[in-house]
């Protein structure tokens, strides 16, 4: 736990409390209110946790004003350019970049766990044939605890490690199977001679009648998407995983809870919504109409892919994503993609509009990712499953950190009750 170097004084109702202030290695100081109720008899009120640190963590740091994102201290743009997803997984899980030997060992452990239990195929077949892949993933990942009993004891470090490797290794297989099932094609088994991203692309796009040649530029773009989404400190789905895990639930159940939370359009579902919106706008001349709607207080419409709870500057992931979108479309020889044109123009107009400037609304990671995924060949229904598979390592790293934290307690928020006070039951004939 960070050291308390100074205190904050809180006075109310004739009482004065000295609250310890904790200094982080980066970011704002934190007022420690853990003893506030015991000493002062009051709660704090912070729906949406806008001013509340729910835990201490060493994994990811975001400076929303500067537009900075660090995994274990390393800037995301350096990792996106120089590293690759499995190395980033190692970094997030174990805290340091691996040596060549550690990397080889880690990658071989992941590669050797990519197949799912054969009986899980039957589980998939229980879903309606056109089920959304996210619906299938929530169910199947939760069901992993029924298949892998030998890695559900959270008090055994070895079992925690095995569960982590299994989840990272099997998630691409599960996401690809959910996709194949939704389009009525046979499941494709993983291949150990392919890297993580290429293997995923092949499991999604190969069919028994024709193999899929993985283009290295597309697999690099895919790998980058995984890296850019790998972790993002205490966001809604990660906090969901931590909260579920705080009761001692098994890791598969916790990650399924994270997937469920990610599905919402204000979180992971935004990439699907952003591409749908760009398509709906359709042409550059219709942009002003949509900007007007986004600014209208009486219209619930929002520019999807814009704004972020933490970033009040450019989302650093959006910069890399934009560059990747250019590379992928260039490779595919798409020079007049109307969706990309709308995206670029919309970005330009919004960044110069007073409403967006005042509210510090910048493009987020989801603004460009959909264009890349669409160009690779994914339908919008696969965008959030791909986010879920990328974020799995972050969820696991955060879950493991929580389990190993001696200050960890079951998450149990309190409330500001504004309902009726105690009253007597009224018999039905008197109501
Ligand atoms: N378009 C138009 N106005 C917006 C937008 C937007 N995309 N985002 C926020 N605003 C406005 C709000 O109307 C509000 O205005 P007000 O102060 O006049 O009431 C103000 O900006 C602040 O917005 P909040 O919703 O209070 O900000 P919050 O931090 O709660 O929300 C969120 C952040 C949910 C991401 C929001 O910006 C949004 O809905 N964006 C669109 C969805 C999206 O792209 N989500 C992806 C997030 S990134 C991720 O999950 C990987």
pTM summary value = 0.91
At 424, the pLDDT band (50, 70, 90 cuts) reads very high
- Average pLDDT (160-179) is 97
Taking only the tens place, the pLDDT of each residue in 266-277 is: 888 888 888 999
Question: How far does residue 189's CA lie from ligand 1's centre (Å)?
Answer: 40
Residue 304 Cα to ligand 1 middle (Å): 9
- Out of 77-81, 200-204, 324-328, which region has the weakest mean confidence (pLDDT)? 324-328
Binned at pLDDT 50, 70 and 90, residue 334 comes out as confident
**Given ligand 1 and candidates 267, 307, 354, which is best to mutate, with the most ligand atoms within 8 Å of its CB?**
307
Q: What is the pLDDT of residue 168?
A: 98
Contact 116, 171 (CB under 8 A): no
Per-residue pLDDT averaged across 272-284, rounded? Answer: 91
Q: Among 105, 84, 349, which residue's Cα sits nearest to residue 227?
A: 84
CA-315 nearest atom, ligand 1: 48
State the distance from the centre of ligand 1 to the C-alpha of 259, rounded, in angstroms. 21
Establish how many alpha carbons lie within 13 A of residue 319's alpha carbon, considering only the half-sphere containing its beta carbon.
13
CA nearest ligand 1 atom 25, residue: 309
| 361 Cα–ligand 1 center, Å | 8
Q: Residue 4 — pLDDT band, cuts 50, 70, 90?
A: low
Closest residue by Cα to atom 34, ligand 1, is: 266
Percent of the chain clearing pLDDT 90 (strictly above): 82
Q: Is the pLDDT of residue 244 over 90?
A: yes
pLDDT in tens, 304-313: 989 988 888 8
308 is catalytic: yes
Catalytic residue among 231, 315, 366, 374: 366
Q: Note if 366 is an active site residue.
A: yes
Q: Which atom of ligand 1 is nearest to the CA of 268?
A: 50
- Per-residue pLDDT tens for 378-405? 999 999 999 999 999 999 999 999 999 9
Provide the mean pLDDT of the chain: 94
170-203: burial string, b at 16+ Cβ within 10 Å, e else: bbbbbbbbbbbbbeeeebbebeeebbbbbbbbbb
Ligand 1 neighbours by CB, cut-off 6 Å: 266-268, 270, 294, 302-309, 359, 361, 364-366
Which pLDDT belongs to residue 367? 86
Taking the centre of ligand 1 as the mean of its atom positions, its distance from the CA of residue 385, in whole angstroms, is 22
Distance separating alpha carbons of residues 408 and 389, to the nearest angstrom: 26
Q: Which residues neighbour 154 within 8 Å (Cβ) at sequence distance 6 or greater?
A: 160, 245, 248, 250, 251, 403
In this model, does residue 2 exceed pLDDT 70? no
pLDDT digits (tens, 9 = 90+) for 83-142: 999 999 999 999 999 999 999 999 999 999 999 999 999 999 999 998 999 999 999 999
pLDDT in tens, 341-358: 898 899 899 889 999 999
Nearest CA to ligand 1 atom 18: 297
């Amino acid at each position: 736990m960070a050291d308390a170097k100074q205190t904050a004084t809180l006075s109310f109702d004739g009482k004065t409390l000295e609250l310890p202030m904790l200094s982080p290695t980066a970011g704002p100081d934190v007022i420690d209110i853990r003893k506030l109720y015991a000493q002062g008899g009051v709660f704090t009120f912070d729906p949406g946790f806008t001013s509340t640190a729910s835990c201490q963590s060493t994994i990811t740091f975001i400076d929303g004003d500067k537009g900075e994102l660090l995994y274990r201290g390393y800037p995301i743009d350096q990792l996106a350019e120089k590293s690759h997803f499995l190395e980033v997984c190692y970094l997030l899980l174990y805290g340091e970049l691996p040596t060549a030997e550690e990397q080889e060992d880690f990658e071989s452990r992941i590669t050797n766990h990519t197949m799912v239990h054969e009986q899980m195929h039957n589980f998939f077949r229980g879903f309606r044939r056109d089920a959304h892949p996210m619906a299938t993933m929530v169910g199947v990942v939760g069901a992993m605890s029924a298949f892998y009993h030998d890695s559900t004891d959270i008090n055994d470090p070895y079992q925690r490690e095995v569960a982590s490797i299994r989840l990272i290794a099997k998630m691409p297989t599960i996401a690809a199977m959910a996709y194949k099932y939704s389009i009525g094609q046979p499941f494709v088994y993983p291949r150990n001679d392919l890297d993580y991203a290429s293997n995923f692309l092949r499991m999604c796009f190969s069919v028994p009648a024709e193999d899929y040649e993985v283009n290295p530029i597309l697999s690099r773009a895919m790998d980058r998407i995984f890296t850019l989404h790998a972790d993002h400190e205490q966001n809604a789905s990660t906090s969901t995983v931590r909260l579920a895990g705080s009761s001692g639930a098994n890791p598969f159940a916790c990650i399924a809870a994270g997937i469920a939370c990610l599905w919402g359009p204000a979180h992971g579902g935004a990439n699907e919504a952003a591409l749908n919106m760009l398509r709906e706008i359709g042409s550059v001349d219709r942009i002003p109409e949509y900007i007007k709607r986004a600014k209208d207080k009486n219209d619930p419409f929002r520019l999807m892919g814009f704004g972020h709870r933490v970033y009040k500057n450019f989302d650093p992931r959006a910069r890399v994503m934009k560059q990747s979108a250019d590379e992928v479309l260039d490779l595919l020889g798409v020079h007049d993609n109307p969706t990309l044109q709308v995206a670029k123009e919309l970005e330009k107009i919004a960044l110069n509009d007073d409403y967006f400037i005042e509210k510090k609304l910048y493009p987020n990671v989801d603004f460009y990712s959909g264009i890349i995924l669409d160009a690779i060949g994914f339908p919008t229904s696969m965008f959030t499953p791909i986010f879920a598979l990328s974020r799995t390592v972050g969820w696991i790293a955060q879950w493991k950190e929580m389990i190993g934290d001696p200050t960890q307690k079951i998450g149990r928020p309190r409330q500001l009750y504004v309902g009726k006070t105690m009253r007597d039951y009224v018999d039905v004939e008197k109501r």
